[in-house]
């Protein structure tokens, strides 16, 4: 993966600086050789796609309320009938896993051998009526067919609605309302990160760092054309001061992009509190809604093909955009 980083970073940084978009972003010493990802709902689907596309780069994924890779098969009707609140007909996990293997053999995903040392943390709330439990069960089954079972954890017994559960941030835990973050007396961010990463320090009660903004288009060019102009990152004080920091990328869900909920997802999931004491920059890429082609009225990440048929592979526009954003934020 070093070739990927070296080939991309110089051009990206040049474009970024020339656009003046780094005004709020300090020079960062990021470990871009090893990253982790997470996401809720459509962001969970995106985290899964990003993980499988680049598992030779990504060390772990945390996925809340989402289904298996290629569930939608590039079709919005299939997505709605099988991969959200309904599974009609039932999801064929074996067929979807076969698709993963075929794409990996074709070089459109990372080699499956790269998954063998990764960790995956999955979550589905028992009060979630937006995403059927069978959908998340299928994701668990698919990962179990691709990597060692002991490196997967599946939390599916918590009374949580379709949202990102926290200890004490957000709205009611049993109701899936905007901004889809709930006070559930459950620290999903902490549970996830402590499974994905060894030796973490306890989360901070008072943040030392700050949320900064950056231009996604300046970093990622045309690949970010279906994304918002502005993305966000949480930078702890230690990272701002030059410490080498790891990277975690977190993908919001539908109707959870910044134009719809402000910085709620960026600031309230609890990820920043864990990042603050563990030399970790959290990147929050952003989508936008579109009422024209490509149609995306709820500002979802592309998990059914609105950006093109290669949406879930290494050639996917949004996957490439987020990769470029991560690399471009590093000053290495």
Active site residues: 41, 128, 162
Instruction: Answer whether 180's CB lies under 8 Å from 253's CB.
Output: yes
- Mode of pairing for the β-strands spanning 210-215 and 230-235: antiparallel
The rounded distance, in Å, linking the Cα atoms of 34 and 242 is 18
Task: List the structure tokens of 218.
Answer: 């300046």
Instruction: Answer whether 226's CB lies under 8 Å from 288's CB.
Output: yes
Residue 195 backbone dihedrals phi, psi, to 5 degrees: -80, -40
- Mode of pairing for the β-strands spanning 244-251 and 210-215: unpaired
Strand partners, 244: 29
Three-class DSSP category at 252:
coil
Token match 């709020």: residue?
24
Instruction: Answer whether 39's CB lies under 8 Å from 64's CB.
Output: yes
Q: Which of 173, 130, 163 is nearest to 265 (CA)?
A: 163
């Amino acid at each position: 993966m070093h070739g990927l980083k070296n080939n991309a970073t110089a051009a990206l940084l040049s474009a970024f600086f020339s656009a003046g978009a780094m005004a709020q972003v300090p020079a960062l010493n990021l470990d871009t050789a090893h990253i982790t990802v997470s996401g809720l709902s459509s962001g969970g689907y995106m985290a899964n796609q990003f993980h499988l596309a680049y598992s030779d780069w990504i060390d772990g994924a945390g996925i809340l309320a989402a289904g298996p890779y290629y569930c939608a098969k590039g079709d919005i009707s299939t997505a709605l009938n099988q991969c959200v609140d309904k599974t009609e007909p039932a999801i064929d996990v074996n067929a979807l896993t076969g698709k993963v293997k075929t794409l990996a053999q074709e070089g459109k995903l990372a080699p499956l051998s790269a998954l063998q040392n990764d960790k995956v943390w999955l979550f589905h709330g028992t009060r979630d009526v937006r995403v059927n439990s069978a959908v998340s069960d299928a994701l668990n089954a698919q990962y179990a067919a691709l990597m060692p079972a002991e490196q997967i954890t599946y939390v599916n017994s918590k009374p949580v609605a379709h949202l990102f559960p926290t200890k004490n941030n957000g709205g009611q835990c049993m109701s899936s309302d905007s901004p889809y973050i709930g006070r559930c007396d459950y620290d999903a961010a902490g549970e996830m990160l402590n499974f994905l990463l060894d030796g973490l320090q306890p989360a901070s009660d008072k943040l030392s760092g700050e949320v900064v903004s950056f231009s996604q288009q300046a970093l990622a060019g045309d690949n970010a054309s279906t994304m918002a102009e502005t993305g966000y990152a949480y930078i702890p004080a230690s990272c701002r001061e030059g410490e080498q920091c790891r990277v975690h990328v977190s993908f919001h869900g539908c109707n959870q992009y910044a134009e719809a909920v402000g910085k709620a997802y960026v600031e309230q999931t609890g990820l920043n509190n864990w990042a603050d004491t563990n030399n970790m920059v959290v990147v929050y890429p952003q989508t936008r809604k579109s009422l024209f082609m490509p149609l995306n009225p709820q500002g979802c990440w592309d998990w059914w093909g609105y950006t093109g048929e290669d949406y879930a592979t290494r050639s996917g526009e949004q996957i490439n955009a987020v990769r470029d954003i991560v690399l471009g934020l590093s000053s290495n």
